Amino acid sequence: MTKISVVVNTLNEEKNLPRALSSIRDFADEIVVCDMYSEDKTLEMAKKFGAKIFKHKRTNFVEPARNFAINCAQGDYILVLDADEEIPKSLTKELKRIAKENIFDYVLIPRKNIIFGKWIQYSRWWPDYLVRFFKKGKVSWRDKIHSEPIAKGKEFKLSASEENAIIHHHYFSLNQYLERMIRYSQIQAEELVTEGYQFVWSDLIKKPLGEFLSRFFAGEGYKDGVHGLILAFLQAFSVFLVYAFVWEKKGFEKEEISGVFNEIEKSLKEIKFWLVQKEKNPLLRIIKRLL
């Protein structure tokens, strides 16, 4: 009989963990909680659900500890679940069917991101497909923040519907978002420097703008209302911070910014292009008139 393990990595997750583990109580043959030495009641909560507990040193991001936790699991199939996520009964039923048929090596699952109290259905936050269910030994993560998993074998992709989606209780407040944004941006800047990236001042304009346009226009973030607008700005600012932190790591190098007005002019042209494409939307018509 095919056995299913659920793997959860934790660090001070006493508020989130009960919801996550409750959602897989009747689904998992084994629950593995890999904890980074929490200082709250996380482990107490994990024990109540009969989880097998393993410890991993604290890291700035989850990927190294995730690989360790997966190796600790004994199931034939593994579901990776974050502590701030849960899965509906309809999804557990579908994953059990897939495991029983034993045809596919890994499954792409859509994720429903709830940010600031709203399900974000556009802005490139949906369907947010992730490899989270797989045969043991078929998937691993690189030791790099927000890295795509390395998957081998036959893939199955679930349809993008609420019934098939992991529910992600993502950000509850701006403070939480900003705290993570600063931490993640510093890590990403360090990775860019390590990979040999050479700082170019124009990236402080082009990269954040590209992020905003891809979220708000190409990703139709305007359909998410004020949430979409604020998230597009926040995501753009997080990209700006990455390159600003690179500049800091380079010793705040002094550099002339000749051509800055040309870069701004190019940026305005890109914005106007997208406004023309979306001219039927009343909010975008207002922005175009302001420009």
Q: Are strands 4-10 and 85-86 parallel, antiparallel or unpaired?
A: unpaired
Q: In the predicted model, what is the mean pLDDT of residues 127-137? A: 97
Report how far residue 216's alpha carbon sits from residue 231's, in angstroms, rounded to the nearest whole number: 9
Q: Tell me the percentage of the chain whose pLDDT exceeds 90.
A: 79
Is the pLDDT score of 291 beyond 80? no
Name 114's bridge partners.
119, 169
| Tokens standing for residue 5 | 């393990």
Is the pLDDT score of 288 beyond 70? no
Report how far residue 61's alpha carbon sits from residue 283's, in angstroms, rounded to the nearest whole number: 38
pLDDT value at position 61? 85
Task: pLDDT band for 281, please (50, 70, 90 cuts).
Answer: low
Q: Which amino acid is at 195?
A: E
34-79, pLDDT tens digit by residue? Answer: 999 999 999 999 999 999 999 999 988 898 899 999 999 999 999 9
Q: What is the DSSP string of 132-144?
A: EEEETTSEE--SS
DSSP 3-state of 155 = strand
Domains of the chain, first to last:
4-169 (3.90.550.10), 174-290 (no CATH)
pLDDT value at position 79? 98
- Residue bearing the bigger pLDDT, 64 or 276: 64
Report how far residue 93's alpha carbon sits from residue 90's, in angstroms, rounded to the nearest whole number: 5
CB 241 within 8 A of CB 182: yes
